[in-house]
Amino acid sequence: MLALVRPDSWNLPLFLHVLGAMALVGAIAATAIAAGRSQESPLLRRVAFMTLVTVVLPSWVLMRVAGEWINSREDIRGTPGWLDVGYIVGDAGLVVLLVTTIIGWWSTRRPERSWPARTVTALASLYLVALLVAMFAMTGKPGA
């Protein structure tokens, strides 16, 4: 119930953090869908790559920067498990996203090869699941 009583100064960073996370979830889902259906048209490989560059990565930055902003406002004792999950999914996620973006670019350059698009689909789907786990941990704060 403590979450119900939140200082006003936390609201803007929380709004931006949640907005970034929601946009990231939608954009990574769009990437997975486009790459997963790209055997129907090479156009979808370009859509997946452009979504990664223009929506996924900026959303990640918004989510991560606003998350750090609100963390600097809150006085959280120690490092609870739910916060660890958020940091791991956030920070390790950047590596996954950068690798996915590079492979996505490669898939647009080599339309005759199917493995790059399949890899983009797998990595984007994996990261989508990780984001949903982080959403569960950071909202429900199990063990807090």
Residue 126 binding other proteins, by CB under 8 A:
no
> How distant, in Å, are the alpha carbons of 13, 24, 87, 103 from that of 57?
18, 8, 16, 15
Residue 1 binding other proteins, by CB under 8 A:
yes
Residue 108 binding other proteins, by CB under 8 A:
no
How far is C-alpha 9 from the geometric centre of its chain's CA atoms? 25
- Tokens 């090479």 map to which residue? 42
Judged by CB under 8 A, which of 7, 40, 75, 77 binds other proteins? 40
The amino acid present at 131, given as its one-letter code, is L
Residue 132 binding other proteins, by CB under 8 A:
yes
Residue 57 binding other proteins, by CB under 8 A:
no
> How distant, in Å, are the alpha carbons of 2, 60, 88, 96 from that of 44?
45, 22, 30, 20
* Number of residues located near other proteins, criterion CB under 8 A: 35
Residues of this chain that bind other proteins (CB under 8 A): 1, 3-4, 8, 11, 14-15, 18-19, 21-23, 25-27, 29-30, 33-34, 37, 40-41, 43-44, 47, 50-51, 55, 132, 135-136, 139-142
